[in-house]
Amino acid sequence: MALLTRSAVADYLNIGTKANKVWALCGTGFNSLDESPNAQVESKVYIHEDEASPSITRYESSFGFDTDVWNDQEAVMLIYDIARNRKVGSNALVEYLRTDFKVEEDGTPITTKVPARLFTCAVEVSDIQGGGGETLTMSGNLNVVGKFIDGVFDLETLTFDDDGEVPEKTVKVLTVSLKAGQTTGKMKVNVSPNPAQNNKYLYKVDSTEPTAPDYNDHIVEGWSFWDGADELTVAAGSYLAIAEVSNANLVKGFGKVQNPAAAGG
């Protein structure tokens, strides 16, 4: 489990057209962009009850924003243009996309596809202000119109697909090789590809061929840390298993190799 920061969720505004969407990141300039579901509650007390029975009847959702006005930030300037030119009706509507978490449970970054919601929002700019010598700022709300569309957002190509699926995570295949080490009885170990940033290696040696773990399996017992450089003792006929894991010891990659002969020196 990882404590998430605001950067785990990404926000985009469509600066293109509905037919040809171009997604601009709500990043530099945005001090806040907060979701308020604003659930509407209706409460009744029926004749056989003494206490009220509340129920949720609808949502009047909005995303409150506070930005510094950077004239080279397309998402910021889209909002500014609506306010500056006093646009109304359909001319004040934007397509806004918010991703689900861009990290896995242990905090590992996701760089491919993530679930996302596509909203149509009416832009409400309540203030554009700034004192002498101060940064010009805007604040207001993106008021949700209708129901959002569920889909998948590709973080590499910046495309949204309302019929897309998030690909199933699979264990990365590690290629492990052995050769005689510099120290008698030790083996030099080579592993490729290199581990992802913030990941580490665990290893174990066994006389029987190991079974590959599943993605995000938690492994601790029987495994030891390996720095990727130290020579290891792998007896003739034994198997060496290498696992690439996150800081929380969740499996991301796995490879194995058998030592067919005694280590050299």
Task: Give the model confidence (pLDDT) of 33-70 as tens digits.
Answer: 999 999 999 998 888 888 888 899 999 999 999 999 99
Reported as a single tens digit per residue, the pLDDT across 225-237 is 999 999 999 999 9
**Closest CA relative to residue 7, chosen from 103, 118, 139:** 103
pLDDT confidence bin for 264, thresholds 50/70/90:
very low
Asked whether the predicted pLDDT for residue 263 surpasses 60, the reply is: no
Reported as a single tens digit per residue, the pLDDT across 152-187 is 999 999 999 998 777 777 899 999 999 988 988 899
Asked whether the predicted pLDDT for residue 265 surpasses 50, the reply is: no
Reported as a single tens digit per residue, the pLDDT across 75-104 is 999 999 999 999 999 999 999 999 999 987
Q: How many whole angstroms separate alpha carbon 166 and alpha carbon 157?
A: 14
CA 22, 25, 28, 32 torsion-angle sign: positive
Q: Which alpha helices (H) appear in 109-158, and where do they start and end? A: none
Q: How many whole angstroms separate alpha carbon 180 and alpha carbon 182?
A: 7
Q: How many whole angstroms separate alpha carbon 188 and alpha carbon 73?
A: 51
Per-state percent for the chain, helix, strand, coil, to nearest 5? 5, 45, 45
**Amino acid letter, 68:** D
Write down the mean pLDDT value for the chain. 92
Decide: pTM greater than 0.75.
no
Question: Contact 222/245 with Cβ under 8 angstroms?
Answer: no
Q: What is the pLDDT of residue 59?
A: 94
**Amino acid letter, 86:** R
Asked whether the predicted pLDDT for residue 214 surpasses 80, the reply is: yes
